[in-house]
Every structure is written in structure tokens, then in C-alpha cells.
Amino acid sequence: MKKFTAGLFTGFLITSSGIAVAQNLLFPDVDPNAYYYQPLEEMVNRGVITGYQDGSFGPDDPVTRAQLMAILSRYDQGLKETYALREDAETPENDLVKWEGDGYVFDYPTTYTADERGLWTIEEYNRYLNPPDGCSICHIPHYEVYSEMTELNLEEYVTQDLEFPWSTFEEVRNLAGIYPKEVTIGQNEFIKVQVNENFNTTSYYALKNGKVIRFRIYFEDRDTTELQEMMKSLTIE
């Protein structure tokens, strides 16, 4: 039976890793023509194999279980660091797309699909295109984006847009139990309104230079954090 030697084990490691080999000086007891020479070079350069204190490698020495565990541990750590670097290099730092509306712009993640109604995850958009029986657009979670010019102030616009029979927030609070709130997101001031009738929505309204921008989330349990990150980049001309 062939001994499981240091040289044989080194060749196995580098073959399994699939990582390119470098060229450097090695140990005095290693023949440059040995089949494991280049794999050993790579393992030394990566700090996986260190050799003996006297500077030799001992290519024909049997590998003990203690040595095996130490080598595998350093090898595993090296692979984690290597592939982490690869993933970082392949992932853009700012994986964003610009939504360019009529007089306004903001950034949204490429994980969303955009259309004239708003922003959808892939799953949501597929459901929108192929809705189950009896399912309307309002019942599919998504981020709706809408804008228009108005001569109304924001309080008047919001109450009209939500089809309340009143024209002030005080009436909305006292008679409907709905509490519009002023919030600052990024460089803009918004009115935030949550409505839980028929279907749950959270709406954000901003008004500047006669243009109102409305972001609406369908379903109250939808996380608002990601939408608010998009809204931080909103610029209204």
C-alpha cells in the first residue's frame, strides 16, 4: 500500500482547490522535478504548509493525524478568504438603477422590476402578469410610484387622493381615526398615511414646485425600510 506522504497529500490539496500555482523558492530536500513541486509551492505561498524548523520539508515522511488537522484547518481558512475576495470583486458596490420620472429621479435596487405602476420583486411581477382568480392589482404587494402636477397644498391633495369626504387632517384624525404624520426622508419632507380599509397601504407624499410624488406600499406588513432607502435619493426638480 502506498504511504500517505507529505508530497502526495500536497498534490491532492492543490488539485482539489482549482487555484492557479505561483513560482517561488522551496525546500532544499525537494526535487524541482518532483510531481508535487508546483502544488507544494502554492501551499507554501498561501501559508498552508510550513515545513520543519530546520527548513526541510520531508516529502517522504508519513503525515500524522495532528499534522493533517493543522494543514486542513489552514487550507480551509485560505479557501474562505479566497472566495470571499472573488465574491466581493464580482458584486458591484452600488447595484442601483435610476428611476427617471417627469421632473424627479431616485435610485432603486436592480433586484426590482420597474414599470409604469411602480416597483416589483420578480415573484410579485410574475403574479401581477398571471394573477390568481379573483385577485386584483391591489392585492399584490408592490411599491407604487406616481406623480402629477397640482394646484392644491399637500393637505388638500392627500385627503382628496385618499377619497376622504373631508379636507383637513384634523377631520381625518377625528372622524376616521387615521393619523397623517410629517416625516423627513433624505432631503425631502413627506406626509405618511397608513390606511387599513379593504387592503392595507402606507403612502408617502412629497410636494415641491407644484409637483406631488407619491410612493405607496401595498400591505402593511411589507417592510418599509428598503423603500425609505430609495426615497432618500429622491430629487425633485
C-alpha cell belonging to residue 89: 470583486
Residues 6+ away with beta carbon under 8 Å from 214: 144, 145, 146, 147, 161, 203, 204, 205
Q: Which residue, of 90, 109, 142, is where some domain finishes?
A: 90
pLDDT given for residue 162 in this prediction: 87
Do 85 and 136 belong to one domain? no
Do 79 and 100 belong to one domain? no
pLDDT at 227 > cutoff 50: yes
Do 81 and 102 belong to one domain? no
Q: Which residue, of 90, 115, 137, is where some domain finishes?
A: 90
Do 37 and 103 belong to one domain? no
Do 46 and 106 belong to one domain? no
pLDDT digits (tens, 9 = 90+) for 42-73: 777 777 777 777 878 787 888 787 777 777 77
When comparing pLDDT for 219 and 178, which is higher? 178
Domain carrying residue 56: 6-90
135 pLDDT band (50/70/90 cuts)?
Answer: low
pTM of the model as a whole: 0.58
C-alpha cell belonging to residue 230: 430609495
188 pLDDT band (50/70/90 cuts)?
Answer: very high
Q: Which residue, of 90, 106, 128, is where some domain finishes?
A: 90
Residues 6+ away with beta carbon under 8 Å from 207: 150, 153, 154, 157, 213
Q: Does residue 1 lie in a domain region?
A: no
